[in-house]
Structure 1
Amino acid sequence: MKKGFKACLRDFDGAHMKGPYPGQILTAVGLDSNNGIYPLAYAIVDIYLLAYAIVEIENCESWKWFLECLGDDLDLHAISNFTFVSDKQKGLLQAVSQLFPCVEHRFCLGHIHDNMQKQWRTKEYEDHLWDCATATTVPEFNHYMHILNNLWRANIDMLLNNLCEVFNGKLVDRRDKPIMSCLEFIREYMMKRICNLLKVQKKCVGPLTPTATKIMEKNEAVATLYIAEWCGDEKYQVKGPWNDQHVVDMHERVCSCRIWELRGIPCRYVISVLYNKADHGECVHELHTYVHKVHWLQTWKTAYGYKVEPIKGRALWPRSECPMQITPPPHCNQPGRPKRKRRKYMEEKSQSRS
């Protein structure tokens, strides 16, 4: 999994154990080329290559151990520059700042909105919050923040939603099992998940992933409404029907809306420029060549070209020659009836009722 994640070309952005062996499952999940979840992998013991670790409690020390293992496997250093997205788990903020002081640390906007709903419940607040989160330029963000301030007279940070919730949701049925059974379930789940994605990839056609293809088709349809004017060199001024105007620099491959730079997919303004260049007989390559390779179908296939290997049954596992004897964890009877369902957030509850 760690080899496949490196092939994704993307920077990466716990769940409680139940039953008689309480603890924590710490997870690190990234994005693949199709914007799907990609559980990161490292070894707990020699025969397990899984995207988790089990610790006694969720604190700074356990998170530091988790991140040190993750950093060793992914060749991350103290000066590495990437993005963490978290739910403000206990000890995680301190651990990340100590081990990776140069990273960008964002917080899950879904959890921020869930906390916001305790006081501001209307959909109007939600819409303006997401407008702030999806803004790609400072003026656009300030505009939406001004509208939001007029509604609730307070500032709020914009961040992305957390991918780990999807992965943790798959672990619900086995979190009350013994540790070895839980680890085996996760390993087999990840093995099956790669196989399922390989079946999906065989049905895909075209140079881009399905998600990137949909985004490009949408941008292409809207780009016909824009007018691009050549300003000399490789710069163009692009006007739209909604009084929006941006500058595209084809030499630097940037647009003042910053969408091309941030997402790696040409925005409507860039595609309008390409249409203009083609109309004037200039050499224009195929549209997918202007998309970052992270969104190419071949990159997506390469990421899942590495497999989680099957292993023999437990009866055939070799005995460890470690002189230290590892004792079983203390047995702890949980109070009340065991909960098997993940706690849903308010937005999920409203969607299920509708």
Structure 2
Amino acid sequence: MCQREVVQKVTFKDKHICAWSRDVKHFTYEFLATKLVAQLPSNPRLPAKAVKLQAETQYGMKVLKMKVYRALQKARSIVEGDYGKQYAHLRDYLVELKRANPGTTVKVGTEPCDGDATSMIFKRVYICLGPLKSGFQALGRDLLGLDGAFMKEPATGQLLTAVGVDSNNGIYPLAYAIVEKETYNSWLCETTQPGLLPAIEWLYPCAEHRYCLRHIHENMKKTWSGVAYKQMLWKCATSTTVPQFEHEMQKLKDFNEGCYKYLAKIQPHHWARSHFSGRAMSDVLLSNMCEILNRWLIDARDKPIITALEYIREYLMKRIVTVNNMISKSDGPLTPGATKVFDGIKKEARKYTVMWNGDQLYQVSGPHNDQCVVDMNARVCACRKWELTAMPCKHAVAALYHMGAFGARIGHLESWVHRVH
């Protein structure tokens, strides 16, 4: 028996009178994430508000904030790596880091997961790259600034940094760590402020410790604010001799005894140049070298662990190249930064007159009753600036001018500057 074929004719009408829907189930956060992957490398801090507006304008869809957040998170995990999965590859990354950078020190802290000794979870990591370590030792300037900055969600913990001062008076990053929080234990175990001071005192009992003068001023402002207090604080801190310091402190006492008593409780060897030794060969009063580094590393603080560590390493590598290129352009034996400072000192020295005592001592006198004794043999001046900075002060340079005028073989003035510059 023959079966008949049935054919149905369908007519398509492209005109619709129904309302346009802005809710499309296929417009998922996964779809939106695929469109964001191309944008994130050039704009890693792409704001959710901008993504929402762009998607609604381009596709004519209603986009919920939560969908945008999930799309951004998905896109970042594709571009930067998964936050959870990167911990499984952390040891492999650190092994490769040590292989590629001989002399590198790496320490990883872990703890048992829920009491299970066979399963460990990440706690903290500390890295000191071998080339940076060798460079810091060759620099010869025993000065480090230590600071911490919070990681940003979805990353957790804190980024700790150790930063020195290079020959060009710029920052010299030495070591960095990502820890669970800034405590005595995190500073003590993984690196060399709640936990910083006790850790340093225990590890390095002979170390000199300076407080950031800006932080002292911020605390002081809570009770004594105003330009006058700030100026008096700075005059006390920048005095390079004990008599000058005591004179400025007395002026503060006469102005406000309460503020004087507050400041007197802080040991001057922590914040006043008059009480610094010359060991560090730097008279810095601020911890802005750490703050500068933290500002440059801000884009690393919300990334997965390996991506964050790689961001820091790449920044340090690029910085070394930039600084080397800058120093290579210097015309003289000093770095560009030191040359600029020393040129200013030489200019000031021309205003001073010198008297020789017949040995290696010189009396140097200048404007505003400024008078000091310079010992050229010991390379020190009564103003203590030569001792503090390892660079001849204006009194010493004036003495060198005098020596040269009377036939002494002093060589280039820059040869009297310490090699750290």
Asked if these proteins are the same fold (TM beyond 0.5), I'd say yes
Question: Greater Rg, structure 1 or structure 2?
Answer: 2
Across the aligned residues of Structure 1 and Structure 2, the Cα RMSD in angstroms comes to 1.5
Q: Which amino acid aligns with 2:209?
A: H
CA positional deviation for 1:97: 0.7
The aligned residue for residue 354 of structure 2 is 228
Is residue 218 of structure 2 the alignment partner of residue 92 of structure 1?
A: no
> Which runs of structure 1 show a deviation greater than 3 angstroms over 4 or more consecutive aligned residues?
none
- Percent of aligned pairs with the same amino acid: 51
Of structures 1 and 2, the one scoring higher in RCO (CA 8 A, sep 6+) is 1
Alpha-carbon distance between aligned partners in 2 of 1:240 and 1:179, rounded to the nearest angstrom:
58
Alpha-carbon distance between aligned partners in 2 of 1:191 and 1:282, rounded to the nearest angstrom:
45
Is residue 394 of structure 2 the alignment partner of residue 268 of structure 1?
A: yes
Partner SS for 1:278: helix
Is residue 144 of structure 2 the alignment partner of residue 32 of structure 1?
A: no
Match of 1:131 among 220, 232, 235: 235
What pairs with 1:160-309 in structure 2 (closer than 5 Å)?
160-162=285-287, 163-295=289-421
CA positional deviation for 1:198: 2.4
More helix by share: 2
Alpha-carbon distance between aligned partners in 1 of 2:298 and 2:347, rounded to the nearest angstrom:
42
Q: Which runs of 5+ in 1 are unaligned?
A: 41-50, 71-88, 296-354
CA positional deviation for 1:282: 2.1
In the TM superposition, what whole-angstrom CA distance separates every residue of 1:40-72 from its partner, at most 9, and x where no partner exists? 1xxxxxxxxxx21111121111110123xx4xx
Alpha-carbon distance between aligned partners in 2 of 1:66 and 1:152, rounded to the nearest angstrom:
43
In the TM superposition, what whole-angstrom CA distance separates every residue of 1:167-214 from its partner, at most 9, and x where no partner exists? 111122221221111111111111111122222223221111122212
CA positional deviation for 1:222: 1.6
Q: Which amino acid aligns with 1:225?
A: K
CA positional deviation for 1:250: 1.0
The aligned residue for residue 58 of structure 1 is 182
Is residue 119 of structure 2 the alignment partner of residue 4 of structure 1?
A: no
Q: Which amino acid aligns with 1:7?
A: A
Q: Which amino acid aligns with 2:320?
A: I
The aligned residue for residue 15 of structure 2 is none
CA positional deviation for 1:7: 1.4
CA positional deviation for 1:119: 2.9
Residues 66, 147 of structure 1: CA spacing in aligned structure 2 closer, same or farther, 3 A cutoff?
farther
Is residue 229 of structure 2 the alignment partner of residue 105 of structure 1?
A: no
Q: Which amino acid aligns with 1:145?
A: M
Alpha-carbon distance between aligned partners in 1 of 2:155 and 2:346, rounded to the nearest angstrom:
54
Partner SS for 2:369: coil
C-alpha contact 1:246 1:256 (8 A) present in aligned 2: yes
CA positional deviation for 1:234: 0.8
Once structures 1 and 2 are overlaid, which stretch shifts more, 195-204 or 52-61? 195-204
Alpha-carbon distance between aligned partners in 1 of 2:155 and 2:410, rounded to the nearest angstrom:
61
Partner SS for 1:39: strand
Alpha-carbon distance between aligned partners in 1 of 2:157 and 2:247, rounded to the nearest angstrom:
45
Q: Which amino acid aligns with 2:240?
A: T
The aligned residue for residue 118 of structure 1 is 222
CA positional deviation for 1:254: 1.0
CA positional deviation for 1:9: 1.3
Alpha-carbon distance between aligned partners in 2 of 1:184 and 1:292, rounded to the nearest angstrom:
35
TM-score, normalisation: structure 1: 0.72
Q: Which amino acid aligns with 2:140?
A: L
Partner SS for 2:249: helix
Q: Which amino acid aligns with 1:184?
A: E
Alpha-carbon distance between aligned partners in 1 of 2:349 and 2:327, rounded to the nearest angstrom:
29
Partner SS for 1:30: strand
Partner SS for 2:346: helix
C-alpha contact 2:168 2:327 (8 A) present in aligned 1: no
C-alpha contact 2:352 2:395 (8 A) present in aligned 1: yes
Alpha-carbon distance between aligned partners in 2 of 1:61 and 1:37, rounded to the nearest angstrom:
26
The aligned residue for residue 147 of structure 1 is 251
Alpha-carbon distance between aligned partners in 1 of 2:178 and 2:206, rounded to the nearest angstrom:
27
Q: Which amino acid aligns with 2:161?
A: T
Alpha-carbon distance between aligned partners in 2 of 1:211 and 1:292, rounded to the nearest angstrom:
14
CA positional deviation for 1:256: 0.9
C-alpha contact 1:26 1:66 (8 A) present in aligned 2: no
Alpha-carbon distance between aligned partners in 2 of 1:241 and 1:21, rounded to the nearest angstrom:
57
Q: Which runs of 5+ in 2 are unaligned?
A: 1-131, 273-284
Alpha-carbon distance between aligned partners in 2 of 1:169 and 1:261, rounded to the nearest angstrom:
32
Residues 204, 283 of structure 1: CA spacing in aligned structure 2 closer, same or farther, 3 A cutoff?
closer
